[in-house]
Structure 1
Amino acid sequence: MKAAALLFIISVHLVSGGSHSLHYFYTGVTRGINFPEFTDVGLVDGQQFLYYDSNIRQAIPKVDWIKNNEGPDYWTSETQISQGIEAVFKANLVTAMQRFNQSGGIHTFQQMYGCKWDDETGATDGYRQFGYDGADFISLDLKSTSYVAPVPQALITKQKWDGADAEYRKNYLTKECIDWLKKYVRYGKISLERKVPPQVSLLQTDSSSPVVCHATGFYPDKVMISWQKDGQDLHEDVDVGETLPNQDGTFQKRAELNTASDERKKNQFTCVVEHKSGDPIHMILTEEKIRTNSAGNNLLIIVAGLVVAALVLIAVVVVMVVKRRSGYKKANQSDAGSNSSGAAAQPLHA
């Protein structure tokens, strides 16, 4: 399975500045690979706090701040909700395959939704979107309170969901989701507001490959990585990657420098890493500082492993929780405040 199919478009929703975010991700995968058929992950400010999959069949806490503030009833409810969503999601994956005239193969159906809140300005935002095999399928436009179907296979769903459902989802994303986000930020204030500086390394597979400036282990996720040539910002021959999560709740990011070795010898190249944990880190590129496989260093292998782990986390994460209620019928307003997951998952309609 291609990583892109699992990544979907999550990177668009990473927050920065004084913003806080609550995201939920669901992923349904057809049988045939060594991966749970359904996963459900919740994150606050990029930190995973909830996990469920079709193998363990139980919602579990991933950080102490949620474990210490929510009791058994909360986790029993989350488990029941996730089990119900799992059933709906498996059916939706089959429906999507039928819409695309597919009878076999490895396919993914993903949902992600959530909200953002800026504790400095008070500004809020939300989103709800679905993907099939790594491409956009349908999404909710909060401004028009209607669904957008970029592919014809989603038009039936748009017709079914426009109207009362769109209003209900918008209400959750702009109100209830924000309330839960504020509560979770209070729960995890110390952990979520911590600042961990990045560890920076220069990596290269071999002498002819690009030099990678790799920053890892930092928190929060907002970081800037750039290259300079003789003290001037360099934009050409530079490829900056997306910010990815590590398994320990920190993040990593990389920026490739695609220049010939003789040019690197004639000029001074510097990687600059800026993070709110401290002053910018300037690492001047020299042959001695580059870590390569040929030098017998295993760091590249470790980095590759972290990237794979991050992709798995994101995939295991891909599905935003819209208030999942048993039965998957439209939840009453009186029920809406009892769970942070959002408005119930619903079938695509065959």
Structure 2
Amino acid sequence: STSCFLLLTSFLKIYFYTGVSGVSGLPELTVVGLVDDQQFMYFDSNTKKAVPKTEWMRQSEGADYWDEETQNDNNYHKSFKNNIQVAKERFNQTTGVHTVQVMYGCEFDDQTGETDVFHQYGYDGEDFLDLDLKEMRWITPVMQGIPTVQKWNNNGALLEKDKHYFNTVCIEWLQKYVQYEKSSLKKTVSPQVSLLQKSSSSSVKCHATGFFPSGVTISWQKNGQEHHEDVYLGELLPNEDGTFQRTSTIRVSPEMRSGLTRKNKLKWKQSQNNREQTQYSVPIGIIVGARAAVVLLVIIGVAGYMVYQKKKGEGLKRC
């Protein structure tokens, strides 16, 4: 027989900054921070205040942190107005709804210690700028981005600060947020994996629940090989205790289904790399895989990098 495993690692998504112009009644800037699919902070340019959205963030950071975040986001709002005006001029736009976004982040593998980073800008849903950290230079797929690329690539000091931020500062904050969230759990995480099937159904479900963090994926094996046909992956859902659950469903033939009706026993064991895993012996293999890395994903507006520059006493990065 084959087995069903639940391997636990961390997967993080942090900060969605969205800047919009040309829409009345909506904030020009909205900031939503997410960690493991939990919203932990919020800011918009109407309320002009950054606030925590989880108890673990309220307990971990005090008033000074939120005052600084509020100041940073309000300063970013001012920079956003300048940057979107520059972009509109370059694209020869005078009216209409327009958006600016930046996605930057760092990835940390808690098993190997390896890291990876990325930093990308977008305008009206299209790629605008991309930082190649291996070459330490900005690139652009559109002619409207050339003036900014030339300006930023000629600023060696700014490129060095980018490099330091992604290789050091970003990783440090990633690890700090992971610890904040882990410490909020009031009990030891005890994930469970179950096979669910109705007697008349042609489908079998592998249901994983009670795992933390949320970076878990479910895959199926048939005769020792990965199997992707007739597989549906359900939505990642939160549990009341701060853990998560997810279900993967596969359609099976009557011959395969007959072996799933009895003698399915759940047991626990410790994996060699000290990550907790659940084994479930069944005739059809189910492997609950996991992202091997801790990922920090940050999506922000066109002056994105503002928080780091502000803390270093620098001006906001402008196009």
Question: Normalising by structure 2, what TM-score?
Answer: 0.64
Q: Which of 72, 82, 85 lines up with 2:63 in the alignment?
A: 72
Residue identity matched to 2:86: T
Offset of residue 144 of structure 1: 0.8
The 1-side partners of 2:280 and 2:94 are apart by 52
Residues 158-196 of structure 1: CA deviation (Å, up to 9, x unaligned) = 111113222211111111222233333333332379758
Tell me the residue number matched to 1:324: 307
Q: Secondary structure at the match of 1:55?
A: coil
Higher relative contact order (CA 8 A, sep 6+): 2
Structure 1: which 5+ runs fail to align? 1-15, 203-210, 271-275, 284-316
Between Structure 1 and Structure 2, how many residues are aligned? Answer: 275
Residue identity matched to 1:346: K
Instruction: Say if 2:318 is the partner of 1:347.
Output: yes
Offset of residue 26 of structure 1: 1.5
Offset of residue 44 of structure 1: 3.9
Contact kept, 8 Å, 2:100 with 2:122, in 1: the verdict is yes
Residues 79-136 of structure 1: CA deviation (Å, up to 9, x unaligned) = 0110010121233223323323333333321112232333332223322211122222
Residue identity matched to 1:222: G
Tell me the residue number matched to 1:170: 163
Residues 267-294 of structure 1: CA deviation (Å, up to 9, x unaligned) = 8599xxxxx88647899xxxxxxxxxxx
The 2-side partners of 1:145 and 1:46 are apart by 31
Offset of residue 66 of structure 1: 2.4
Residue identity matched to 1:156: P
The 1-side partners of 2:137 and 2:146 are apart by 12
Residue identity matched to 1:182: Q
Q: Which of 95, 116, 120 lines up with 2:111 in the alignment?
A: 120
The 2-side partners of 1:233 and 1:126 are apart by 29
Q: Secondary structure at the match of 1:223?
A: coil
Q: Which of 214, 220, 223 lines up with 1:221 in the alignment?
A: 214
Residue identity matched to 1:177: C
The 2-side partners of 1:218 and 1:34 are apart by 40
- Structure-2 change in CA distance of 1:58 and 1:118 (3 Å): same
Identity of aligned residues (%): 43
Contact kept, 8 Å, 2:8 with 2:213, in 1: the verdict is no
Structure with the higher fraction of residues in helix conformation: 1
Q: Secondary structure at the match of 1:324?
A: helix
Tell me the residue number matched to 2:93: 102
Tell me the residue number matched to 1:179: 172
The 2-side partners of 1:344 and 1:225 are apart by 45
Structure 1 vs Structure 2 CA RMSD: 4.5
